[in-house]
Amino acid sequence: MARYLVTGAAGFIGFHLARRLLLEGSTVVGLDNLNAYYDVRLKRDRLVILQAQSRFQFAEIDVADHAAMQNVFAGDRFDVVFHLAAQAGVRHSLDHPRVYADSNLTGTLEVLEGCRQAGTGHLVFASSSSVYGSNTRQPFRESDGCDHPLSLYAATKRCGELMIHSYSHLFGLPATGMRFFTVYGPWGRPDMALFRFTAAMLAGRPIPVFGQGRLRRDFTYVDDVVEALVRVGERPPRANPAWPAVEPDPASSSAPFRIYNVGAQQPVELLAFIDELQRCLGVTARLELLPDQPGDVASTCADASSLLHDMGFAPRTPVNEGIARFVKWYREYYG
């Protein structure tokens, strides 16, 4: 069976991906530094589930640790490396910029060097819809320019795409980037809207809602994201011989490199999202409507037609189903 490396394996998406790969009978090596950006207990509880499988090996490693990452790649050859480790959060980057440089830039470089030296067959890496920045034409297409990020987080994710493309060009490393659009679901991150809103509503606290609740997000259910990752992992990209160098297409390359949007293609206004959450919880929210937060964009919407065309799949879970599944998990986990 295939052997995979998943960085950020104790994180939200990394956990779901690793569990899916294990259930399919594969061997998974998981890395995570278990940092305290949010509740470490949640990360450790995810790991308990993964470590119940004998084919899962875990190492508490920061991907920016050069010596540790050299050892990881020296000891194993991986069929696919899923690089999901990153310092997340647009708002956190306003006050902690150096953490983003260490994790998202230096960490990505260490993964690239490991893949290059070990001859990895395919690198699949996490990017973000935030790279589209000040672009207001929607839906966002992979061929759109991404040169005006609105947060340091977005800038580091775009830099990661460019770094990886350079390795793909220089060393022939097949690499596929996945631009995720507001992923949510069970075992999600406590700093994200659905988790924060649920916790506040059940505690009777007001919900701080930025952008007066008019921000629109292309909420994408985590199982759909994992399905996209698995399918992409099985199909390393090839160089595009017809790539137009005179009018460069950012979505593909003359190197074995590809970018895909991973979004539900159905943006939902935050107030409507909260209405659905109220229905699922049976609790009325107390809203604290606030102005825009620095770094936020007004709306996100994915054009996932390339993913559908190439992989035969695009995210499709309706928001009402996704929220209901999250609420069920939340009640069970927190009692």
Q: How far is CA 91 from CA 70, 152, 307, in A?
A: 32, 9, 29
Q: Region 274-286: what's the mean pLDDT?
A: 96
- List all residues 6 or more positions away from 154 whose beta carbon is below 8 Å from its beta carbon: 90, 128, 130, 131, 133, 295
Bridge partners (DSSP) listed for residue 331: none
C-alpha neighbours within 13 Å on the C-beta side of residue 245? 4
| CATH code, 39 | 3.40.50.720
What pLDDT band is residue 75 in, cutting at 50, 70 and 90? confident
pLDDT by residue (tens digit) across 182-239? 999 999 999 999 999 999 999 999 999 988 889 999 999 999 999 999 999 999 999 9
Which residue is catalytic, options 153, 221, 260, 330?
153
pLDDT by residue (tens digit) across 9-38? 999 999 999 999 999 999 999 999 999 989
Provide φ and ψ at 81, rounded to 5°. -105, 120
Asked if residue 168 lies in contact with residue 257, where contact means CB atoms within 8 angstroms, the answer is yes
The CA distance from 261 to 292, in Å, is 25
Q: Looking at the 3D structure of the chain, how many domains does it have? A: 1
Helix (H/G/I), strand (E/B), else coil: 193: helix
Residue ranges making up the domain that contains 288: 3-334
Provide φ and ψ at 40, rounded to 5°. -65, -25
The model's pTM is 0.96
Task: Give percent above pLDDT 70 in the chain.
Answer: 100
Bridge partners (DSSP) listed for residue 126: 178
The reply to whether 153 belongs to the active site is yes
Which amino acid does the sequence have at 212? Q
Asked whether the predicted pLDDT for residue 298 surpasses 90, the reply is: no
